[in-house]
Amino acid sequence: MVRILVACLMLVLATPLAFAIEGELGFDDPAMNERYRSLLREIRCPKCLNTSIADSDALIAADLRREVHQKMAEGHTDKEIVDYLVSRYGEFVVYRPPLQPSTWALWGAPPVLLLIGVIVFARILRDRARQPLDEDPIS
């Protein structure tokens, strides 16, 4: 059992290292290069489910990396590049969709659910505190 757990843990830990095909392109300037890499991680590959274009080896991901590289070299800002890709491929390609009416539920659900959880938890604690302690004689 422990062995299986350890194996699973190792598998999980190994995933971030499986960083597929970065760096066929890059910039000489380290700051620019860092910007390029982090931008690639923000853009979701439209063909493959839930990998960024930094991680995917799909044909289209390679093309999009090249497009991002070219646009950066031309001096476009991150926002311009992301806006361009969204205008072509839709909101799907961004991992952080903008806050707008169609995404209110998406952004709003986690805090609301967390709030509900906190309220339920607080009520359970309160109810328990009210119960007399000596009701069940365990000892």
Contact footprint for other proteins (CB under 8 A): 46-47, 49, 59-60, 63-64, 67, 86-90, 92
**Which tokens in the block code for residue 108?**
């709003």
Looking at the Cβ atoms of 8 and 73, the one nearer to other proteins is 73
Place of tokens 């995404």: 103
Instruction: Quote the least distance from Cβ 76 to other proteins, whole Å.
Output: 14
CB distance 64 to 45 below 8 Å: yes
3-state secondary structure of 94: strand
Instruction: Quote the least distance from Cβ 112 to other proteins, whole Å.
Output: 14
Instruction: Quote the least distance from Cβ 137 to other proteins, whole Å.
Output: 26
Distances (CA, A) of 77 to 18, 20, 113, 128, 129: 29, 25, 36, 56, 57
Alpha-carbon span 81 to 69, nearest angstrom: 10
Instruction: Quote the least distance from Cβ 81 to other proteins, whole Å.
Output: 12
Looking at the Cβ atoms of 1 and 105, the one nearer to other proteins is 105
Query: What is the full DSSP assignment across 47-78?
Result: SSTT-BTTT--SHHHHHHHHHHHHHHHTT--H
Looking at the Cβ atoms of 67 and 78, the one nearer to other proteins is 67
Looking at the Cβ atoms of 8 and 120, the one nearer to other proteins is 120
